[in-house]
Chains A and B, each alone.
Chain A
Amino acid sequence: MNKYLLYPGCSMESSAKAYMESMNAIVEPLDLHFEEIDDWNCCGATEYLGINLIPAYSLIARNLALAAKQSPPVNGTGGTRTVVAPCSACYLNLAKADHYMQERPSLGAKVNEALAAGNLQYKAGTLDVRHLIDILVYDVGLEKIRDAVVRPLHGLKVAPYMGCMLPRPDYQHRWSDHEHPTELDDLLRALGADVIDYPLTTNCCGGHMTQIGPETAFELIRRLVADADERGAQMMVTVCPMCQMNVDAYQNEMNHFFGTDYHMPILFFTQLMGLAFGREPKELGIGMELVSARNALANIGVEEPVTQEPAAPKKKDEGLPMPRRWTRHEGRKEALK
Chain B
Amino acid sequence: MTERIGVYVCHCGSNIAGTVDVVDVANWAAEKLGHQGVVIARDYKFMCSSPGQELIEKDIKELGLTRVVVAACSPHLHEKTFRTAAKNAGLNPYLVELASIREQVSWVHSDKAVATAKSKAVVSGAVSRVIENAPLEEIKVPINPNTLVVGGGIAGIQAALEIANAGFRVYLVEREPSIGGHMAQFDKTFPTLDCSACILTPRMVEAGTHPNITLLTWSEVVNVAGYVGNFNVTIKKKARFINEELCTGCGICQEKCPKKVVDDVYEAGLGYRKAVYTPFAQAVPNFPVMDKENCTYFIKGTCKACEKFCPTNAIDFNQQDELINIDVGNIVLATGYDLFDARRVSNYGYGRLPNVFTSIEFERLSNAAGPTSGNIVLRDGKTVPKSVGIIHCVGSRDRNFNNYCSVICCMQGLKFAHLVHERTGATVYNFYIDMRTAYKTYDEFYQRVLEEGTLFVRGKVAEVTDAARYSNEKGKLIIQTEDTLAGKQRRIPVDMVILSSGLQPRHDAKEVGKMFGISCSTDGWFTERHPKLDPVATMTEGVFIVGCAQGPKDIPSSVAQGAAASARVLDKILQKEVALEPIKATINKEMCSGCRICNGLCPFNAIAFLADDNVSEINPALCQGCGTCVAACPAGAISGMGFSDEQIIAQIDGLLLRNLEPA
Contacts and interface: CB of A to CB of B under 8 A. Distances in A.
A323 B379 contact: no
Contacts of A223: 467, 469
Contact of B344 (A197, A323, A324, A326): A326
A214 B349 CA distance: 30
- Counting from the closest, the 9 A-B pairs by CB-CB distance are A326-B343, A179-B346, A179-B347, A199-B467, A319-B380, A319-B381, A227-B467, A323-B351, A177-B346
A326 B341 contact: yes
Interface in B327-366: 341, 343-344, 346-347, 349-352, 354
Contacts of B271: 320
A320 B263 CA distance: 12
B198 interface: no
A177 B351 CA distance: 13
A154 interface: no
Contacts of A325: 343, 351-352
A321 interface: yes
A180 B351 CA distance: 12
Nearest to B400: A178
A28 interface: no
A334 interface: no
Contact of A321 (B269, B372, B468): B269
Given A223-B469, A326-B341, A321 B352 contact: no
A320 B379 contact: yes
B371 interface: yes
Contact of A320 (B270, B341, B343): B270
15 contacts: A179-B463, A199-B467, A200-B467, A227-B467, A318-B381, A319-B380, A319-B381, A320-B271, A320-B371, A320-B381, A322-B351, A323-B343, A323-B351, A324-B351, A326-B351
Interface in B459-508: 463, 465-469
A230 interface: yes
Nearest to B365: A320
B350 A323 contact: yes
A319 B467 contact: no
Interface in B255-283: 262, 269-271
Interface string A294-337: 00000000000000000000000011111111101000000000
A321 B357 CA distance: 11
A197 B463 CA distance: 16
Contacts of B468: 227, 230
Interface residues of A, number: 20
B573 to A, nearest CB: 45
Contacts of A230: 468
A316 to B, nearest CB: 12
Contacts of A326: 341, 343-344, 346, 351
A325 B269 CA distance: 13
Contacts of A179: 346-347, 463
Interface of B: 262, 269-271, 341, 343-344, 346-347, 349-352, 354, 371-372, 379-382, 463, 465-469
Contacts of B371: 320
A78 to B, nearest CB: 40
Given A320-B271, A326-B341, 6 more contacts: A180-B347, A223-B467, A320-B379, A321-B262, A324-B343, A326-B346
Nearest to B263: A321
Interface string A129-161: 000000000000000000000000000000000
Given A178-B346, A199-B466, A319 B379 contact: yes
- Does more than half of chain B's interface fall in helix, strand or loop, or is it mixed? loop
A180 B379 CA distance: 21
Contacts of B350: 323
Interface string A214-229: 0000000001000100
Given A199-B467, A223-B469, A322 B354 contact: yes
Interface in A233-249: none
A321 B381 contact: no
A324 B352 CA distance: 9
Contacts of B381: 318-320
A180 B463 CA distance: 12
Contacts of B380: 318-320
A197 B352 contact: yes
A58 to B, nearest CB: 32
A163 to B, nearest CB: 15
A323 B269 CA distance: 7
B269 A199 contact: no
A195 to B, nearest CB: 14
A324 B465 CA distance: 18
A319 to B, nearest CB: 5
Nearest to B348: A179
A57 B343 CA distance: 36
Nearest to A230: B468
Contacts of B341: 326
B527 to A, nearest CB: 28
B346 to A, nearest CB: 4
B346 A180 contact: yes
A324 B262 CA distance: 11
B351 A199 contact: no
Nearest to A323: B351
Contacts of B463: 179
Nearest to A178: B346
B344 to A, nearest CB: 6
Contacts of A319: 354, 379-381
A230 to B, nearest CB: 7
A230 B468 CA distance: 9
Nearest to B463: A179
Instruction: With a 10 A CB-CB cut-off, give which of A177, A227, A320 has the most chain B CB atoms.
Output: A320
Contacts of B343: 323-326
A1 B22 CA distance: 73
A179 B352 CA distance: 12
A130 to B, nearest CB: 22
Contacts of B465: 199-200
A60 to B, nearest CB: 27
Contacts of B346: 177-180, 326
Nearest to B347: A179
A180 B467 CA distance: 13
A36 to B, nearest CB: 36
Instruction: With a 10 A CB-CB cut-off, give which of A180, A197, A230, A326 has the most chain B CB atoms.
Output: A326
Nearest to B262: A321
Nearest to B354: A322
Contacts of B382: 318
Nearest to A176: B346
A55 to B, nearest CB: 33
Contacts of A180: 346-347, 352
Contacts of B344: 326, 328
Nearest to B269: A323
Contacts of A328: 344
Contacts of B262: 321
A310 to B, nearest CB: 25
A261 to B, nearest CB: 17
A326 B343 CA distance: 6
A318 B377 CA distance: 13
Instruction: With a 10 A CB-CB cut-off, give which of B346, B382, B468, B469 has the most chain A CB atoms.
Output: B346
A209 B469 CA distance: 20
A323 B354 CA distance: 9
A199 B349 CA distance: 9
A200 B352 CA distance: 13
B648 to A, nearest CB: 41
A320 B262 CA distance: 10
Interface in A192-213: 197, 199-200
